[in-house]
Amino acid sequence: MFIYDLINFFGGLFGAGDVPASASSNAAVAVGQRWFFRGPESSGSVSSDIAAGIDAVSVNTVSCDTASSNAATISEAAAESVAEITENLSAFQQFMQTLPTRATAFAIKATFALIILVGGCYLIKIIRIILRKSLEKARVDLSIRHFIDSLVKVALFALLLIYIASYFGVETTSLVALLGSAGVTIALAIQGSLSNITGGVLILLLKPFKLGDYIHEDNNGNEGVVKEIGLFYTKLHTLDGRTVVLPNGPLANTSLINVNMAPMRQLILTVGIAYDADIDKARTVILEVLGGCNLILNDLPKKVYVESLDSSAVTLGVRAFVKNEDYFEAKWYFTEHVKKSFDKNGVAIPFDQLDVHIKDADNS
């Protein structure tokens, strides 16, 4: 035990503290053996052995300190993980505790938002009715009334949606900025459609035609009665019951014929007669047909003239005035009755013929 105490003493001097019993025992045994077998005269060797034992004890002590620091680090990391898990569990428990209250508050807010939406839609409907009646009393053109009504409808619904979003806590300025940036992006993506809006505005301002007019556009040859002038498209109703939808952009940039600009329209027709037919007799028959039609404006001049001398017929031109709404009826009446009158009075209408002459090869 003397050697054990001596090693602990030197360990204390070097700051190692008490060494484990295993290390000091091994050193003590080694020194004791040398002391016993060599005797007191080998004290120098024993001193060196004691120093070696002290070094071994110091190394073992450093290893123990390293293991202790690693264990402390692991303990700190485990403590932090436990604290984080505890904090997350506490937050989850708090969320679950406040969930019924939050759900109830959201349900109440959603109910009020639904009431605001229904009430806003009803209010917008009333505003549109008042606006339409006001424009009608002011004798604003029907196409302009439809355009203003559509524009006000879109604007009011946009304001309603912005108000509902702000009611749920969305910042209005951020929403307006978002809508502005989205509007720029959408405008670049649908610039063709925006040109239709611009064309619609030009049509309403310049009024090349209005609702009820019969127009013929030269771009694609479409014609019909104008039934609707919208933000993007203009709708035509044809004589055979079809609806033609024309984009306002190209329609505003193309030439067109508006038949209803004048209260009446000139009927221009051609009739072919044979070369051996009497032109004066044919002219008289045509004038009689025009005089017998109630749709022809007989107080205005009527003309029958030679239009051209074609390869197989003498083409006569016919001109007379009718009301705009009677144009097609007058045209159909004249085409039918001039044929009947020509047949009755012996005026021949030529048609293409092919004469085939067979040559006899034996007599040639």
Q: Which domains are present in the chain?
A: 2-81 (no CATH), 140-261 (2.30.30.60), 262-345 (3.30.70.100)
Provide the 3-class DSSP secondary structure of residue 235: strand
Please state, rounded to an integer, the average pLDDT across all residues of the chain.
76
Q: Work out the end-to-end distance of the chain between its first and last CA atoms, rounded to an integer number of angstroms.
A: 161
Q: What is the pLDDT of residues 308-325, one digit of tens each?
A: 998 888 999 999 999 988
Confidence of residue 269 (pLDDT cuts 50, 70, 90): very high
CB atoms inside a 10 Å sphere around CB 313? 20
Give the Å distances, CA to CA, from 114 to 67, 168, 311: 67, 12, 78
Round to whole Å and give the CA distance between 174 and 308.
74
Confidence of residue 29 (pLDDT cuts 50, 70, 90): very low
For residue 16, which phi and psi values (nearest 5 degrees)? -90, -15
Confidence of residue 94 (pLDDT cuts 50, 70, 90): confident
Confidence of residue 48 (pLDDT cuts 50, 70, 90): low
Q: What is the pLDDT of residues 2-21, one digit of tens each?
A: 444 444 444 444 444 444 44
337 vs 106, higher pLDDT: 337
pLDDT score for 20: 47
